[in-house]
Chains A and B, each alone.
Chain A
Amino acid sequence: RKEVEQDPGPFNVPEGATVAFNCTYSNSASQSFFWYRQDCRKEPKLLMSVYSSGNEDGRFTAQLNRASQYISLLIRDSKLSDSATYLCVSSIGSGNTGKLIFGQGTTLQVKP
């Protein structure tokens, strides 16, 4: 079983739609969780950190469910510019190396 699993998609949605991505992680000791965005042939960039209480940034909402070991990302009112690959990320346990595990990514295509 992969340590961080995501549905690769692609998710094809019209502009203005709401879309949700889920991801599961296998290490119950993981402490830090993130969503990154990666545009084609570019470096990953931090989209959001994921907190236990859930957090929202404009049209984006991230939630963490530790009991079920999954993380979600909700995008409301999708824009064409949201088309990208979204990487789900968790830390490797609670160690002090700063290491993160990246999922393979979920591809989103927003159509006009």
Chain B
Amino acid sequence: NAGVTQTPKFRVLKTGQSMTLLCAQDMNHEYMYWYRQDPGMGLRLIHYSVGEGTTAKGEVPDGYNVSRLKKQNFLLGLESAAPSQTSVYFCASSYPRAGGPTEQYFGPGTRLTVT
């Protein structure tokens, strides 16, 4: 099993350009998440999904859109990139459990620079 994979690993964008980050998981997990990590800020949740066809906003959703058309894929879109979106983006997945949330499994990250 590959676990959680992310594409691309690195990207440089100019202000105003758009792009889509792809996350794929082969663990049949229901839940998927997109985070950004900035120095001194820790991991912040951008958007998440509790199942195919559903998405919800996290802590810092502005400037991003997501889609979960297939259970195994979770896409993060930047419609008009801004320098403030320079960050490392991590995707994660997990599964539901009656006793409370389970651990999340992370992809290797995408390092995005917006100039």
A interface residues, Cβ below 8 angstroms from B: 31-32, 34, 41-46, 49, 87, 91-92, 94-100, 102-105
Contacts and interface: CB of A to CB of B under 8 A. Distances in A.
Nearest to B90: A43
Contact of A102 (B43, B48, B96): B43
A104 B101 contact: no
B94 A104 contact: no
Nearest to A48: B103
Interface stretch (B11-19, B62-70, B74-82, B106-114): B106-114
23 contacts: A31-B99, A32-B100, A41-B111, A42-B108, A43-B90, A43-B106, A44-B90, A91-B101, A92-B101, A95-B101, A96-B50, A97-B50, A97-B56, A98-B31, A98-B48, A98-B94, A99-B33, A99-B45, A99-B48, A99-B58, A99-B101, A103-B42, A104-B41
Interface of B: 30-31, 33, 40-43, 45, 48, 50, 56, 58, 88, 90, 94-96, 99-109, 111
A44 B30 CA distance: 20
A92 B100 CA distance: 10
A94 B102 CA distance: 11
A96 B96 CA distance: 7
Contacts of B103: 34, 46, 49
Contact of A91 (B95, B100, B106): B100
B109 A43 contact: yes
Contacts of A104: 40-42
Contacts of B109: 41-43
Given A44-B106, A94-B100, A102-B43, 13 more contacts: A31-B99, A32-B99, A41-B109, A42-B109, A91-B101, A96-B50, A96-B96, A97-B31, A98-B50, A99-B45, A99-B101, A103-B42, A104-B42
A31 B98 CA distance: 11
